[in-house]
Amino acid sequence: MNKKNTNIVTLVLVILTFIGIISVYGSLPDIIPTHWNASGQIDRRGSKSTIWLMYGILIGINLLFILITHIDPKKKNFDEFQRTYGIFRIVFNIFFMAIIAIMITNAKAVQEFDVTKIILFLVGIFLAVIGNYLPKFKQNYSAGIKTSWTLASESVWRKTHKMAAPIWVLGGILIALLSLIIPSNIYIFVMLAIIAVMVLVPFVYSYLEFTKEEKEKM
């Protein structure tokens, strides 16, 4: 998928989100749930205009996706993984659309449901999808596993992303599945532990690989 097609698809998704919000906005109660705690209980309510704030964030992030391909110091590398970057952008839009849809559905529901579990499940799937495409990310300063050592060496970047991919896929799947099994107030700590592994293991690995590479040059 080239840049033009990606822009068209994301624009269509943004427009569909706008149409969806417009079609139901008048039927929403004036005050809706806007935040849920770790136990899945509503701990904040606000104006239904919060939906438009979420939509504004969606637009802002889409513009950021485009901007970074022009201002990143290694912007030329984006051309080498344009298809992967395009898929990432589209998946993100679908993920964010789902969150907005969940907020609207919860606001209209006769009986409120545990939004936290659903969102955490989606987060897990999103992270697993990212993990699947990590090896295809080329060196840049905006997307991927950016440590001092991956940015200093293309080979360390490549090795780190290849090593991290299965960890992210497995971590994402665990985050998704366990969110349906473990109580929300306990699960949040489990999720943080999984994310810590997903972040720290590639971080340490990139350092070790860079150190090894530097020693071999001596």
Looking at residue 118, its pLDDT comes to 84
Residue 190 structural domain = 3-217
- The total domain count for the chain is 1
Looking at residue 40, its pLDDT comes to 60
Please give the average per-residue pLDDT across 96-102, as a whole number: 89
* Token code pair at residue 30: 């004036």
Closest CA to 79 of 140, 144, 152, 14: 140
> Global pTM?
0.84
| CA distance linking residue 77 with residue 14, whole number of Å | 26
pLDDT at residue 167 is higher than 70: yes
